[in-house]
Chain A
């Protein structure tokens, strides 16, 4: 594409004043890419070529993309290992919990007195024994009652005296 020098002159003055659009700047770059540049724009052409050349500079690394992908992607190979690792962590946690509960229970059992243990297998025997025990308690109660009756006699006597005292006082 050949452009007349007037147009280029125009575009250039706009360019130096920062009034060119992106398309116009592209036109300038295209123009200065060509070989047939008038002497007065030799250095300007070099500037535009410099821009073009700069744009050609690329990240020279074929493995770059792959490295990035590997970096951002959760690795597929390690997935199973990771799963195993995670489940082991959970299992370890559970094991610790179970052990803790067991120890606490053991501790509680050791410190609190033993609960009543069923000592008889035969219900009949158990009944007899219970009856025996209850009878013994009942007998003791009976004895206690007899003793209490004796005490009661004192009470009655005291009440009698008090009554007599009262009647004596009222008479006086």
Chain B
């Protein structure tokens, strides 16, 4: 792989890697550092890349491993939900509706952040990034069964909580 194909093929996945790293490390600055390190590793291991079937999943896996390393080295548990702000702009919505949506999204954010780590990763990879089950297996180094179980649990935990919110308005 030469520099040009690195630039046109590999670099564009930076946002996916960034979002994934962000799920682990929690701060944008650190996530950026992780992604930078991932790219340098990918570049240094570019000879290997021809043997890798799905290089994007490979990049994601490196991102995951480096993110975990970073968390360990900082010796910090990511228990606090990430403060994310959402800029929801739908022209069809009134300001009131827009605020309401914003609030419910904050709730969902907290809800997903409270999931166990694996479930959080799986739901992110599937529902945000749209990876296939096979790719998720490769990224997280899990077997198909584990991936499906984790996704099922994650989605159902979310669903239950959403139903509670609906029923009691919590």
Contact = CB atoms under 8 A, between A and B. Distances in A.
Interface string A41-63: 01110110111011101111100
Nearest to A21: B132
A71 B3 CA distance: 12
Contacts of A50: 86, 105, 108-109, 112
B3 A72 contact: yes
Interface residues of A, number: 35
B52 interface: no
Given A68-B40, A72-B43, A47 B14 contact: no
B24 interface: no
Contact of B166 (A43, A49, A64, A73): A43
A46 B128 contact: no
Given A18-B148, A35-B90, A65 B11 contact: yes
Contact of B15 (A43, A58, A69, A72): A58
B128 A44 contact: no
Contact of B101 (A46, A51, A64): A46
B7 A64 contact: no
Contacts of A64: 14, 32, 35-36
B36 A43 contact: no
Given A25-B130, A65-B11, A72 B6 contact: yes
Contact of B36 (A44, A53, A71): A71
B13 to A, nearest CB: 10
Contacts of A51: 127-128
Interface of chain B, helix or strand or loop or mixed? helix
Contacts of A35: 90, 92-93
B155 interface: yes
Contacts, number: 97
Interface string B90-130: 10110000000100110111001000000000001011111
B151 interface: yes
Contacts of B126: 25
B128 A54 contact: yes
Contacts of A146: none
A42 B155 CA distance: 16
B68 interface: no
B19 A55 contact: yes
A47 B110 CA distance: 12
Contact of A16 (B87, B132, B156): B156
A67 B36 contact: yes
Contacts of A43: 104, 162-163, 165-166
B49 interface: no
A47 B162 contact: yes
Contacts of A157: none
B101 to A, nearest CB: 6
A5 interface: no
* Residue among B22, B28, B86 with the highest chain A CB neighbour number at 10 A: B86
Chain A to chain B: the 4 pairs with minimum beta-carbon distance, closest first:
A35-B92, A46-B104, A72-B43, A59-B18
15 contacts: A16-B156, A35-B92, A49-B101, A49-B105, A50-B109, A50-B112, A51-B128, A54-B19, A54-B128, A58-B15, A59-B14, A59-B15, A64-B35, A64-B36, A72-B43
